[in-house]
Amino acid sequence: MADSTPNLQLPYILPSQAQKHVMHNEALVMLDRLVQLALEYEGDVAPGAPSEGQRFAVGGAPTGAWSGRAGAIACFQDGGWLFATPRAGYLAFFKDSGLLKIYTGSGWERPPLPDVLTPTRLGISATPDDTNRLALSSPATLLNHAGGGHQLKLNKATAGDTASLLFQSNWSGRAEMGLSGNDAFSIKVSGDGSAWATALHCDGEGRVSMPNRPLARAHRASGTSTPAAGSETGFTDLALEQGGFTLGPALPGGGNAISVPADGLFLVALMVTVTASSGFSVSLRRNGFATLLTVQGPAAAPATTNAVALVQLYAGDELSLLHGGSATIDEGTGRTQLTLVRL
């Protein structure tokens, strides 16, 4: 029979042994050192004023009182140091770091996570909750390929649900892309986190639209007009309007100016149809003085003349028409009209 236990090396009380209490107490001391192991820290230098019962993991290059005890467990007891040799599989709580470590046979290491881990919540430098069950706080996130590629999948239960990426500024939504309330892909934006506008919409057939792209087609009520040379006229109807175009202030020659809703480069087309003419011109002007394009017609009727231009417009600009020469203009959609599209 061996003199000690195989794992903790606790001494046995042997038959006919004198002072059996000595061996018994020695075994209790060894149990006290190694069971429920909580180590103060791992290092090479013993503390200057250790407390009774404190335990330490001796590093790989110890000096002083721990010299020659690399890798051992050092316990301060009865005014001196007692040492034990850890075995592979020992678990210890390190008080300085708050970590649980396992002795591998060559050093103390944090136990690895299992290959399959299914926690109900996971936070990485962040606190998860019932809604955000996976929470991450980090300067960046890397999702790398395994093999030739990598897919990030966002699934939803029904068409009326949402599967999207939401971009926030100080926890207030500013942009969202994905399937929001239907199965069409869209990009939405917001200036305040509550009112949202769809910037891009793509249906299941691949047809793309921009519901808030500024565009308009303006004309006057059906009929004819004979504006005097030098007069300024405008429009009475928006046959097509999107993105914020409105009819602005009334003009002396009739109709209203068109108010531009946003800065940008615009494609502008002016079509003028006349029923009688001795030679005329119609100019599109910005803010009453800057000419953007001009339609010129011959002394013949009926006739339809067009002009197209790319122009830079700014939010708040007012567009009107300046007339020259003499003509009877055939008003109405498809006859005399102004079309604007922000590119």
Considering only CA atoms, which of 322, 147, 164, 309 is closest in space to residue 231?
A: 322
Contact between 154 and 138 (Cβ < 8 Å): no
- Do strands 99-103 and 42-43 pair parallel, antiparallel, or not at all (unpaired)? unpaired
The fraction of the chain above a pLDDT of 70, given in percent, is 90
The predicted-structure confidence for 49-80, as pLDDT tens digits, reads as follows: 999 989 999 999 999 999 999 999 999 988 99
The predicted-structure confidence for 83-95, as pLDDT tens digits, reads as follows: 989 999 999 999 9
Q: Which of 7-11, 213-217, 289-293 has the lowest mean pLDDT?
A: 7-11
pLDDT of the residue at 258: 98
Could you tell me the pLDDT band of residue 25, with boundaries at 50, 70 and 90? Answer: low
Determine the Cα–Cα distance for residues 126 and 113; give it in Å rounded to an integer.
Answer: 19
pTM of the full predicted structure?
0.68
DSSP string, 309-320: EEEEE-TT-EEE
Mean pLDDT of the chain: 92
Could you tell me the pLDDT band of residue 6, with boundaries at 50, 70 and 90? Answer: low
Q: Which domains does the chain have, with CATH numbers?
A: 36-109 (no CATH), 159-212 (no CATH), 215-342 (2.60.120.40)
pLDDT of the residue at 30: 67
Cis peptide before 302 (omega within 30 of 0): yes
